[in-house]
Chains A and B, each alone.
Chain A
Amino acid sequence: MTARTLINVPAKAKRGEIIEIKTLIAHPMETGFRVGLNGALIARDIITTFVCRYNGEEIFRADFSPAIAANPFLTFFTVATATGTIEFQWTGDDGFSATESAPITVE
């Protein structure tokens, strides 16, 4: 099962308008510093990178650290320039990868 995500991008925007984008993804963000019941260290399992592309062009990137809570929520702003697709990509430990996209109409 791929990770659950919730994306909030306005369906429509005026050209030049500043729009808010919200992303939420289900992920344990295991720090790698905790020990389990058997005393052994629990391996680190975090999202390391998030990238957002607007019609293929990278507009936002974030590097994650073990201190970030489970189910990371990111919100950021961009300028609505053209009708198209906004793509989101999360990559992390253990080959974790999730992608999501949202359409936007610019008038």
Chain B
Amino acid sequence: MIGYLFAYLSACRPCESRDPYPVLSQSAAAYESRLCGRHSASKTRVIALMMALAGTTQRFVFSTVVLLTTLPAFATEIPPAERRSDYEFMSAQTRAMQDDDSANPGMLSVLDGEALWNHRDGAADKSCTDCHSDARSSMKGVAARYPAYSPALGRPIDLEARINLCRTEHQKATPLKFESKELLGLTAYLALQSRGTPIDVASDARARPFIAAGRELFNRRMGQINMSCAQCHDDNWGQKLAGAPVPQGHPNGYPLYRLEWQSLGSLQRRLRNCMSGMRAEPYAYGAPENVDLELYLMSRAQGLKMEAPAVRP
């Protein structure tokens, strides 16, 4: 079976663009339907296309993408036995950084979160501890079950939204902003309490339509590059893209410290990052589409152990 080859002349990884809306100066209309299939060798085609993509920092850098592909009709989901945490695709050095709590910079945010957990706030002058007591016991395994269905809202909410609901309803405080030091700290502190717990999101009748919506988004082509999440993370995981391994894209380490970001970031930040890399307009922080995607990703990673706060390149 002929594999496939990405020959990139400049840094144009779909997931890595920092420029939110770069200009595509030449049509990429020739882009074929599916890039490649891991499990089918039935039909082999050669697609060669030239795309001018605005690079990460350089403008109008021409990059050549040569694809030798086999084309199945649809992507197949990763079988449960082959599901692997993105941790396993990292270098030994980055893994060592994640494994050592005194070297993992995500633990600095955990310290922030721990302080906030015990800090009284809002008109009610309550701290998280006042209701939930010690997070180390009360919050054990909670993050592994989020996003979870909220009967009050009639849809799933993620951990960040849950924290903000507690703030507005019980603490009578203002909601924390997405990617603020405070919200990341609290999320990291909660997620840490589920370290080692297998992901266990509900897939009951209430959650199912939202998981389906997330799956549809995951497989939907979007943006000027006209790619879907599945084309990398279902079809081509384990292959290389611009020298870096393509992981399966599991959400079991969030919030995580990304060396490229030089900070902790939420899963929604990661999703928006991938979307802008595909030259699609990212959904706003807290948008239902993002939460559906988060929920689908968690259900897709069902059984994988939580490892937040993880470290990723």
Chain B positions within 8 Å of A, measured between CB atoms, are: 100-103, 105, 107-108, 111-112, 259, 262-263
Contacts and interface: CB of A to CB of B under 8 A. Distances in A.
Q: A interface, how many residues as a size bin?
A: 10 to 19
A43 interface: no
Contacts of B102: 6-8, 22, 24
A5 B112 CA distance: 11
A36 B187 CA distance: 28
Nearest to A8: B102
B262 A6 contact: no
A6 B263 contact: no
Nearest to A21: B102
Contacts of B108: 4-6, 24-26, 71
Contacts of A29: 262
22 contacts: A4-B108, A4-B111, A6-B101, A6-B102, A6-B108, A6-B111, A8-B100, A8-B103, A22-B100, A24-B102, A24-B105, A24-B108, A25-B108, A26-B105, A26-B108, A29-B262, A69-B262, A70-B262, A71-B108, A73-B103, A73-B105, A75-B103
Interface of A: 4-8, 22, 24-26, 29, 69-71, 73, 75
Given A4-B111, A4-B112, A71 B105 contact: yes
A24 B108 CA distance: 8
Contacts, number: 37
B103 A22 contact: yes
A70 B101 contact: no
B186 to A, nearest CB: 14
Q: Which 8 A-B pairs have the closest CB atoms?
A: A8-B102, A70-B262, A71-B105, A26-B108, A4-B108, A4-B111, A6-B102, A22-B102
Contacts of A75: 103
A19 B11 CA distance: 41
Nearest to B107: A6
